Amino acid sequence: MDMHQIALSIVIPFYNEEESVQAVCEEVWHVLSAVPGLTWELVMVDDGSTDQTPRIMADLAREYKFFRCLRLAPNSGQSAALEAGFEAARGEYVATLDGDGQNDPCDIVCLLDAVKEHGVDMMCGIRRRRADTLVRRMSSRIANRVRSAVLKDRITDVGCSLRVFRRSCMGRVRFFRNAHRFFPALFIMAGFSVAEMPVNHRPREHGTSKYGGGINSRLWVGIADLAGVFWLSKRSLRYVVTEE
């Protein structure tokens, strides 16, 4: 496929997800292959896994048309995996979702349609009826409220990985460790428009979260990251250029 013909790139980071990687990627294939006229690619990013994830990804890339496989070494974190995927993506639009199967690939099409319909640069998912524990839901709610109050980004559910955005915007968005936790805010800081809509959320069928860490560790890391992003937001250059 000519890279100029690709409308959508789906980027999925994986880290030790040998139990779910095949089911997740095959579901993406079945959902998007059924969309008439949509040209797309799947960019699978292995973040230095130590299990069978890399082998399964390589097998999928050989078996399925439009599947691509990237490998990071060493394990570098979710933000690094996403950044690598974004740099490799060739679509006009980019979609992201988690590799654990909790996101519904059917929502990708809904988000893509909404981006175009509303003329925004990024459309974020809001997980309705979250299939997580009470502690996880409550800690996420508190973190979202604190972040929104500090950054004024008005994002309801920054922990939802389901997003669709215009790839051309990434030239002005800087990534760093844990940047994925503030992705919509970074888009807003760069002068782009961001909106939200409800999406599905499903129970995790295999394994446990590989990127989250404990509640206490996420708290202190989150506070440090929030302070850094707040500093950055106060020093961001915001302007519009016109040529006459």
| pLDDT tens per residue across span 162-211 | 999 999 999 988 887 787 788 888 888 888 999 999 999 888 776 666 55
> Is 39 among the domain residues?
yes
Task: Determine the average pLDDT of the residues in 150-164.
Answer: 80
Task: Determine the average pLDDT of the residues in 8-25.
Answer: 97
Task: Determine the average pLDDT of the residues in 57-85.
Answer: 95
What is the average pLDDT value for the chain, to the nearest integer?
A: 84
* Strands of the 40-47 sheet, one edge to the other: 67-72, 40-47, 8-14, 93-96, 163-166, 122-127, 194-199
Tokens 């981006």, residue?
115
> Is 240 among the domain residues?
no
**CA–CA distance, 91 with 10 (Å, rounded to integer):** 9
> Is 243 among the domain residues?
no
Instruction: Decide: residue 134, CB within 10 A, 0-12 exposed, 13-18 middle, 19+ buried.
Output: exposed
Of the candidates 89, 94, 84, which has an alpha carbon nearest to the alpha carbon of residue 124?
94
pLDDT tens sequence across 46-56: 999 999 999 99
pLDDT tens sequence across 160-176: 899 999 999 999 888 87
What is the domain extent for residue 80? 3-235
Q: Is the pLDDT of residue 220 over 50?
A: no
User: Residue 224 belongs to a domain with what CATH number?
Assistant: 3.90.550.10
> Is 242 among the domain residues?
no
In our burial notation (b when 16+ CB lie closer than 10 A, e otherwise), range 157-191 reads bbbbbbbbbbbebbeebebeebbbbbbbbbbbbbe
**CA–CA distance, 46 with 185 (Å, rounded to integer):** 26
- Assigned token pair, 61: 């890339």
Domain tally, the chain:
1
The pLDDT-based confidence of 122 (bands split at 50, 70, 90) is very high
Q: Is the pLDDT of residue 11 over 90?
A: yes
> Is 244 among the domain residues?
no
Q: Is the pLDDT of residue 155 over 50?
A: yes
- Assigned token pair, 211: 């990127």
Instruction: Decide: residue 59, CB within 10 A, 0-12 exposed, 13-18 middle, 19+ buried.
Output: middle
Query: SS3 for 10-59, per residue?
Result: EEEEECCCCCCHHHHHHHHHHHHHCCCCCCEEEEEEEECCCCCHHHHHHH
